[in-house]
Each structure stands twice: as C-alpha cells, then as structure tokens.
Structure 1
Amino acid sequence: MSEFDRTPVAPESLQSGRYFAASYAGEHVAGTEFVIGALFVSFGLGAVDVIVGLVFGNLLAVLTWALVCAPIATDTRLTLYAYLEKIAGPHFIKVYSIVNGALFCILAGAMITVSASAIRILFGLDAQTGLFPTDLRFILIALSVGAVVAFAAIKGFKFVAKFAEVAAPWMIAMFFVGALATLPALISATPGLDGVGSSSDLMTLLGSSVFVDRGTDITMWHVIAFTWGANLAFHGGLGDMTILRFARNKAYGWYSSLGMFIGHFAAWIAAGIMGAGAAYVMKTPLTELDAGGVAFQALGAVGILAVVIAGWTTSNPTIYRAGLAFQSLNPKWSRERVTLIVGAITAVIACSPFVFSQLLGFLGIMAVIMAPIGAIIFAEHFLFKRLGLTRYWRVSRGDKLNLPAAITWAGTALFAYVLGSVFGIHIFFLFIPTWFAALILYPVLSSMMGAKSVDTQILDDMERAEKDRKLTEAEAIRTFKSENGHKRPFIETLLLLTAALALIVCFYLGIKAAGGSTSTGFKSAIIWPTAIYFVAATVLVFIHKDKSETAS
C-alpha cells in the first residue's frame, strides 16, 4: 500500500473534500470530548466565559489550519517528516520523529483508554480514574481496543477516512441526543427552572448547574488559549500536513471548522451537560467518573458504543501519524510494520488511566514542543525569499543537520520553560510566545550561518522539477472536476436516506427524553435506529466510488 511516505502524493491519489469533512468531524468529535467537556465543568468558570472562549479559540484554530497548514501541505504534497527533513536535515528529523511519534503514541493512548472506560462497564469493573489500573481485566480491554485501532491505522489514510465517514454523523448526533436526555435531571437540580423553552432558560441552566462560576483563577483567556492550542501539534505545528497532502484543494483546510465547532464547541458543551447530569444523578463527584460512566448514564448501552467509537475515530489517525513519524527514521522500514509496533506500544500506554486524567496538561506540553517546528517550516516556506534568504539552503550545502533549526528548537523550548517556571505564565499560553520566538530566531540564525550565500544550481533543478510536478497535478485536478458530475446510483440514494432517517429518529427520541419520557424507555429505543444507521452508512461508504477511483 503506497502512502507516499517520502515522496509527493501522486495526482491520481488526491482525495475529494468529503474525506476531509468526515476525517475532521470524526477525529474531533471523539471520546476525549467527554473528558475535556467534564473538565470545563470542574474549572469553576461561568457559562458566558466558557462559550465566548470556545468560540474565539476555535476560530483561531480553524484559521491556523486553513491559512498555515493546508497551503503548505497542498503546495509540497509531503508529510511533515519528509518536508522537515528537506529543511532541517536527516539528523534533525531522527530526533524530531522520535519525540513527535512518542507524543502521538501518548495522545492515541489516552483515546484508547477512553474507549476502554466504556467497555469496562460491560464487565462490571469500577471506573479507572487513578494513575494506574486497579484491575487486570481493564488492561486486557485496553490491549484489545488498541489492537483494533492499530489494524485500522495500518490500512492507511483512506480506510481511516472512510471509518470516520461512517462514524462521524452518528457521533455528532449522540452528543446532542445525550445532552437532551440529561436535561430533565439538570432542570430538577436548577432552582426556579421548570423547563428549557428558550435560549435564556438554557443559559440559566448552564450557569446554575453546569458551568458554575466559583471564582476560579481560570479565565475566558485560558479557555481561548487552550482551545486554540489543544490541537496546535496538528495545525500550528503542521502535523496535519500528513493528512492534508492528499487534499485536491487547499480550501479543504476550512473543513477543520466541522471538527472545531461541532466537536470542540458543541460537543464539549454537550459533554459538560452530560457530565454534570451524571454527577447529579449518581451523587458522585465528577472527578470520580470516567467517560464511559458519563455516557452510560446519559445513553445507556448506546453510550458505551458512542465512547468506544469516539475513541477509535480519534486514535486511528493519531496512530497513523505516529507510524509515519517512526517510519521516517529509516526509509527501508515498512510503514505497515512500524504502525503495528506503534499500535502495540500505544495499547500498553493506554493501560494506565493517567494518560487521560492528565490530558489538559499533556496537550499544553505537546503544543509547546511542536510550536517551534511549525514556525521553522513556516519561516522557510513563506518568509525566506521575502527576506533575501535561500529556501532549502541546507540541501545545497549538503549538511546533515540544519544547525539554526536545532538551536531554534532547543532555545525556544528553554524560553518556554523560563516563562512558565520563572514568570509563572500558565501552560495554556506558552505556545504563543514560543511560536513567535522561533519565527524570529530561525531566519536570524539562518542568515548568520549561510542561508544568504549558497550555490543554487541544485536548488534550481529542484525548483524546475517542482514546477513540472505542479503542472501535471493541476491538469489532473481539472480532469477530476470535469468527471465529478456523475449521478448517484439509486441504491446509494436509498442507503443515504435510510441512514439520515435513522439519525432523525435518534434526535426525536432525544427530544422526547428531554420532555420527560422515561429514561429506561429512551435507552432501549435508541438502540434500534443506531443499528439501522450503522448498517446503512457502512454499506453506503464502502460501496461508493469516486470517478477517479473507478478510472484507476
């Protein structure tokens, strides 16, 4: 299976926008949303501050994906690792790939742990919220979930995207339906509120029973910074070059808005509602509940499925990225075999619940480590020519290590440590000064160390080859556009309508539950439209072929 690990993606392998819409919606409407939504409840921050912070933070994240990451990915058609090696050299990429791959393994491990937290309910296990597991059965569950996730990642980008295409619409629906089903419990816990019939009633409920202002040191600015930086490794750190290099158009970067505003806005709020409702009903502090427990309380058996699939849709592409990171260490290594090993390591990490209980702090650290890399690539790709410097000057000199890049990465990491430990800047904010410091420092050091005076003969040849590749690619994309006006077959239309109707029934059941219908009846009834949806959506996605697929 060719995944173009070290070469530009071939024109015939470029993908249409639906894959990226599904991938972003699936990856960012995930099991970790249950964790983060609940943590926002425990922050003790008011509802208005949370909502405003989420809006602006997510907007900044989308802009970074669309205006920074997607243009570089579609211009180069390379993975982050292949492009960084071109800029910084093979010695640099070996260190970076180990660090980057390890971080992705930990992140994917957190998502597998979230899935395992749901399956443990089927076996009657207690919630695992400590640093280490307390039951051997939980370890076996985590290893089993990890095996399934590794299999999907080994299959490559397209399989991962198709899995997300099936799961994403239902996952989105379940967050909303779960929140609706939880409303009666929260209404009874909110003094002076008999129902939610307007936006004013909803804000009263959120402010009184979900996001309750307790005079915390956390502010709206912390929410903005965290929301923007939570996925910085993917957008500002350019990790999603690995995904977006398959996009036919750089405008597909805007599809990240589906992940951010459905997943990191609506789903975080919905998860907060479910978490607060579960804590109230079970008379248990929210910090002692895991994602599986929250979802099971809101949705019953379907909640277990929701958390399992939510963990998969996020951990699949994350392990895929980690596999590419480690495979970049040696071009002779098979991506599939490396991904299998990475999946096994990730499954072992997932056995320890600390990987999701410490999720916010880990994401802050990850953002700080990855931010300088994004700034280095951004500077060389967009700024060097404007500054009179030579792009890819390391290639012309034949250096194995781009020393300015190495100094910049190490120096800005130390800079972030000083800002945090000496000046007390919160970890959520550290990626911002770190990114801009690297953006300034790298061109300055490069100018001093040889980027102005290099032999450009090799680089001229590279540039001509790049122009030829882009011309061929542009012609292929025009062909795709002219062929995409085909009519959908009747069977696909029927399956699409069936899947859509099943989701509508899920919403109807959620609305009835919000109106006070019995919880037991709702949790039993929602199983059937869920089953119908997955049968119809799975058949639809896996029988559908683009014109480009048929031609190839």
Structure 2
Amino acid sequence: MKDQQTLTEELDSIDEYEREPVPETKTKDFRSFVSMMAGEHIAGTEFVIGPLFVLHGVSASAIMIGLLLGNILATLSWTLVCAPVAVKTRLTIYYQLEKICGYRLVSIYNAINGLQYTVLAASMIAVSATAIGLAFRLPMPGLTDLYPTSFAWIFAVLFIGAVITVVTIYGYDRVAAFSAVCAPWMPLVFLAAGVAVLPQLGVTSWGNFWTVANDKIWTGVPQPGQTHYTVWHVMFFAWLCNIAMHIGLADMSIYRYAKKPTYGIASAVGMFIGHGMAWLASGVLCALAIQQGNNNPSPGGIAYASAGLAGAACVVIAGWTTANPTLYRAGLAMKGIAPHLKRWKITFWVGIMATFMACFPGVASKLDQMLAFYALVAAPVGAIIIMDVYVLPRFGLLTNYAEKTGIAFNWVAAGAWLIAVLISYGLYLMTNADFFFFMAAPGWVIGAILYVGLSKVFQKAQTPEVVA
C-alpha cells in the first residue's frame, strides 16, 4: 500500500505544463529533438508503408524523386511553420486552441485528435507485436488481415502495449530518453537488412541495381486489387503523412520544449532516414517476400527473414519509439477535455484503449487510409492557429478570441474548420482522386483564408468594448 501510494505521488508530481508555457529552464537542447524525431519517424510502421509503395506499383524513378521532394517539404514544414509557433507560444496545441476556440469547440477537436492518435499508437503496437511473435515462432497476422488470428497474437499485443503505456505515463523526459537510447542503431538495421537481401533479387553490383529495381522491386505494376501510385502519390504521402504534426501543429506539444525554432531542422533526420532510407529498405524486403511467394507478409516477417533476431528487435523497438510520443500526444489531447484529471491517469486509460485496438491487425493494414483522413481533418486547425498568432494582429483583429471574450464556442473557428474540411472532401469526390492526401494542402489554405475572412467580418460586427 505504501509503495503504491509512493508511486501515485511520484506520478502526480510530474509537471508537463499542460495549461501554461514551458519555462525557459525546462527547454531541451538540439540533440533531444534529433533523438525524438529519429525515434518517432524511424519506426516499425516503415515496414508497413515501404511495402505499400511496392504493392501499389510505384516505379523506381517515381519513388526516388517523390521521396526526395516530399521529405524536403516535410522538413521545411516543421522548420518554418511548426517549430516557430511552438517556441513563440510554448503551449500545447490543445491549450492554444482552447484560447482561440473556446472549451466546447476545442473539446470536439481534442476528442477527434485523441482518438486518432490512439488508433495510430495502436498500429505501432500491432507492428511491434508481429516481430515479438516471430521471435518466439508464434502465428502472426499478415499485412492484409483485419481480425485477431490467434491467442498468441493477443498476448504479444498486451505485452507491447503494457511496456509502451508504462514509459509514456512518466512524461516527456522518459519518452525522449527512450528515443535517445534506441534511435542510433535502428537505421543501421534497416540499411543492413535491405542491402543484405539485394543479391537474392539479382543485384550483383551497384551497376545493375537500377535494372533490378525497375524489374523486380518498384516495377510500376500494382499487385492485383491495388490502385496504381505515381510520383505524385509518393511526394504527397511523404510530405503530408505527418501533416497533422507539422503544418497541422500537433508537434507544438513537442517543440514547445525547444530552445530555438531552428530546432525544427531535426525533423530531417526522421524524414530522410525513416521516411527515405527505411521505406526503400522495407520495400526491397517486401519485393523479396513477394518473389518468394508470400503475397501477404507481416512487418515482423519481412524484417526477421532478412536480419534475423536483429531485424525482429528493430521492428519491436521502432514501434515502441513511435508509439511513445504518439500516446503522449493522445494523453495531452484527452487532458484538454478533462483538465481536472491527472495526465498520467488519462494516458494510462488511453494506453489500455490503444492496446485493445491493436489486437485487431486491420488497424495497421489500413494505416495509409487512416493517416489520410487525419490529414484532411487536422490541416485547417493548424492554419487557424498560424493565422491567429501571426496574421490577425496585422489586421488589428483580436487574437485568442475565446479567452479574451469568455466564450466557450468560437463560431468563426468552427465555421472555418468545418467548411475547409467539407470543401476539401468535395474536391476529393469531384476530381475522383484515389488519394486523400492530395486534398490536405488545399484544406490548409482554405482554412487559413476562411478564418481570416470570417474574423474580419465577425469582429467588426462586435461592440468596441469586445474587440478593444
């Protein structure tokens, strides 16, 4: 009883500054963000996303050009958009939105955001669990399975989910420390695994790599039942698969700890190694699995087949280092709905929910679709914050409108957000696009224009006492 009370008191004493700016004395150095971004974006899910490009028939030239351009745009989005506003406010996105939108409106966003992050964390847990199962020779589901395939699978998920939840409830410092330990060696495993299997695909020298890449890996021909992806799909996916985090500003919650806004450049490590080299390496592994007759490989399976236990361990740890900050964000989002509850308690229950979801492997197999929907919903929210912090003062308009006027629901912000999402989705339907990510960037622009325009109209209609 005494030990339990001591643990509870320790957790209660952890201050994550959920409703106040991070003090300058608590900011982190650049290395902390390199580790965090590397740990989060060199992830177990790279063994899902890399194979998706192979399955969807991306050509070799399309994936190389698309990844280069997309990852440059993603890095610039963190460096020029997300990190500057995070350092300027030192607030979580959830509290900043509450000041702008009001408690009732931000509670809707927090519920959607928290649920989406919980699902994303669940997919990380599921990916890690496939590697645990293979290490112990247990039957594991494949990339296209939707439901649990065995009790062994459920046990592996429960174990992984428990570890991730325990690390995350201790807060940002533990999450960052976990990434710092794991990040340095994971890229080496990805690279070694991809290079090791190239001879089995027919690569005898770097001179014939490009020929094999076109003929056997990124062939330009999708697998049966899959749509065809082009260079534009690759570029927009690489740029906007994390739109909620960079120009959607969810990573305000991470970068509020940065000493300088230039620390946003740390994202390049995660992008070009995790969303570049790791996607290419896992694509190579998937192509080999298909050549060997396995049309439904699991993430852990393709890693274990190429790098043995080291590959399986890489998938497990990579899933942990991504799930930890994801679950951390989910806890902060739900904390915005119930500010009277301790963050660690909320994170604990969110971790249980994510672990339960992870029992269904379809959560990971539909990862690209889930990220695309999230991008569509989250993009206009980031635009609203950017406009409120930087643009509204230039027009002499009131910022943090809900906080200063005492309203609980900012109809201007709600209208800009909803209309932007509906227009983006309408464009998606009208153009017969097969890719949600194409509409996330227009959604951001539409949300920004609407919020400024509606603010000018609405605030001018108020009495001078309100807008003073």
Q: Same fold (TM over 0.5)?
A: yes
Q: Which residue is equivalent to 2:5?
A: none
1:430 counterpart = 2:430: no
Mean Cα displacement is larger for which, 44-53 or 445-454? 445-454
Matched residue type, 1:203: W
Judged with a 3 Å threshold, the aligned counterparts in structure 2 of structure 1 residues 146 and 458 are, in CA distance, closer, same or farther, namely: farther
> Could you tell me which residue of structure 1 aligns to residue 167 of structure 2?
152
Unaligned runs of 5+ in 1: 188-192, 460-552
Residue 284 (structure 1) aligned to one of 294, 304, 307 = 294
Match of 2:265 among 250, 254, 259: 254
Q: What is the aligned partner in structure 1 of residue 456 from structure 2?
A: 447
Structure with higher Rg: it is: 1
Q: Does 1:83 align with 2:96?
A: yes
How do 1:236-275 residues align onto structure 2 when only pairs under 5 Å count? 236-275=247-286
Name the counterpart of 1:134: 149
| Deviation for aligned residue 1:435 | 0.9
Q: Which residue, out of 326, 334, 356, partners 1:326?
A: 334
SS at match of 2:184: helix
Q: Does 1:225 align with 2:236?
A: yes
Change in 2 beyond 3 A, CA 1:295/1:46: same
**TM-score, normalised via structure 1 length:** 0.79
- State the SS of the aligned residue for 1:328: helix
Change (3 A) 1:350 1:456: farther
CA spacing shift, 1:180–1:10, aligned 2, 3 Å: same
CA–CA distance in 1 between the matches of 2:461 and 2:77? 29
Paired with 2:164 and 2:111, the residues of 1 have a C-alpha distance of 21
Shift in alpha-carbon separation, 1:177–1:456, aligned structure 2, 3 A:
farther
Give the whole-Å Cα distance in 2 for the aligned partners of 1:432 and 1:4: 31
Q: Which residue of 2 aligns with 1:175?
A: 190
For the aligned residue pairs, the C-alpha RMSD in angstroms reads 1.7
Q: What is the alpha-carbon distance in structure 1 between the residues aligned to residue 314 and residue 217 of structure 2? A: 22
Pick the aligned partner of 2:118 from 76, 84, 105: 105
- Taking a change above 3 Å as real, the CA distance of residues 74 and 458 of structure 1, as seen in their structure-2 partners, is farther
In 2, Cα distance between equivalents of 1:329 and 1:428: 28
1:2 maps onto 2:2 in alignment:
no
Once the two structures are overlaid, the 10-residue window that deviates more, 329-338 or 311-320, is: 329-338
Residues 73 and 245 of structure 1 are in contact (CA less than 8 Å); yes or no, is this contact kept in structure 2?
yes
Seen in structure 2, the aligned counterparts of structure 1 residues 182 and 456 have a Cα distance that, compared at 3 Å, is farther
Structure with higher RCO (Cα < 8 A, 6+ apart): 2
Describe the superposition over 1:79-130 as per-residue Cα deviations: whole angstroms up to 9, x where unpaired. 0001010111111111111100000000010010000011111343333131
CA distance in 2, matches of 1:123, 1:168: 24
Q: Distance in 2 between matches of 1:121 and 1:182?
A: 19
**Residue 60 (structure 1) aligned with residue 67 (structure 2):** no
Equivalents in 2 of 1:162, 1:12: separation in Å?
A: 18
Counterpart AA for 1:114: V
Residues 451 and 70 (structure 1), Cα distance of their counterparts in 2 relative to 1, 3 Å cut: farther
Aligned residues of 2:140 and 2:149 also touching (Cα < 8 A): no
| Gaps in structure 2 of 5+ consecutive residues | 1-13
Task: For residue 387 of structure 1, report the CA deviation from its aligned partner.
Answer: 2.6
**What amino acid does structure 1 have at the position aligned with 2:221?**
R
In the TM superposition, what whole-angstrom CA distance separates every residue of 1:208-259 from its partner, at most 9, and x where no partner exists?
2211122874211111111111001100110000000000111100100000
CA–CA distance in structure 2, aligned partners of residues 59 and 452 of structure 1: 42
Note if contact 1:390-1:452 (Cα within 8 Å) is conserved in structure 2: no
* Overall identity of the aligned pairs, in %: 40
Shift of 1:407: 1.1
Distance 2:127 2:333 in 1: 24
Match of 2:105 among 63, 87, 92: 92
Shift of 1:391: 1.6
Cα distance, 1:453 vs structure 2 = 5.5
* Distance of 1:178 and 1:452 partners within structure 2: 63
DSSP 3-state at the match of 2:322: helix
Q: Is the 8 A contact 1:127 1:289 kept in 2?
A: no
Task: Note if 1:186 corresponds to 2:180.
Answer: no
Instruction: Within 5 Å, give how 1:176-215 maps onto structure 2.
Output: 176-187=191-202, 195-198=204-207, 201-214=208-221
**What pairs with 1:345-356 in structure 2 (closer than 5 Å)?**
345-356=353-364
CA shift, 1:304, in A, is 1.3
| Residue of structure 2 equivalent to 1:28 | 41
CA distance in 1, matches of 2:133, 2:310: 14
- How many Å separate the matches in 1 of 2:71 and 2:206? 28
1:291-310 correspondence runs (5 A): 291-310=299-318
Q: Normalised by the size of structure 2, how large is the TM-score? A: 0.93
Cα deviation for residue 452 of structure 1 reads 7.7
Contact kept, 8 Å, 1:97 with 1:329, in 2: the verdict is yes
Q: Report the 3-state secondary structure (helix = DSSP H, G, I; strand = E; otherwise coil) of the residue aligned with 1:111.
A: helix
SS at match of 1:31: coil
Structure 2 residue corresponding to 1:374, chosen from 379, 382, 399: 382
